[in-house]
Amino acid sequence: MIKVTFINADGDVQEINGVEGQSLLDIAQAAGQPLEGTCESQMACSTCHVIIDKDWFDKLPRSVEDEEDMLDLASGARRTSRLSCQIILTPDLDGLVVHIPAESRNMQGL
Ligand code: FES
């Protein structure tokens, strides 16, 4: 099991267990986190945007240019932003901490 801690904009903490090969988006959605993932991991939306805890950001495989382009469009994006659909769980990521941007609450009403 690979444990990921999700922290939402209100500071609520949820620990979610995933297995190797699942995406961060998959486990977040399965646990009811408010990430839409509209384009089904095609890097054509930014509704799966999350902010990686700064201590973890450099441990992730680097993003490709298409991902960077989508993040430029994501509201509330920060230096440690990533698209959660592009982050595949590996044992190295056990203990990962991820923040859900406040904006994802607003997107749910669209
Ligand atoms: Fe659209 Fe991740 S689900 S970019």
For 48-100, what is each residue's pLDDT tens digit?
999 999 999 999 999 999 999 999 999 889 999 999 999 999 999 999 999 99
Whether residue 39 has its Cβ less than 6 Å from ligand 1: yes
Rounded alpha-carbon distances, angstroms, from residue 7 to 12, 36, 42, 51, 63 = 6, 16, 25, 10, 22
Whether residue 85 has its Cβ less than 6 Å from ligand 1: yes
The confidence score (pLDDT) of residue 75 equals 87
Of 110, 93, 102, the closest CA to residue 12 belongs to 102
The confidence score (pLDDT) of residue 109 equals 45
Ligand 1 atom with the shortest distance to the CA of 85: 2
User: pTM of the predicted model, to two decimals?
Assistant: 0.91
> d(Cα 108, Cα 80) in Å, to the nearest integer?
23
Rounded to the nearest angstrom, the distance between the alpha carbon of 47 and the centre of ligand 1 is 6
Q: Give the closest residue (by CA) to ligand 1 atom 3.
A: 37
Return the domain boundaries, the chain. Answer: 2-109
Average pLDDT value for residue range 12-20:
98
Q: Give the closest residue (by CA) to ligand 1 atom 4.
A: 43
What number does CATH give the domain 2-109? 3.10.20.30
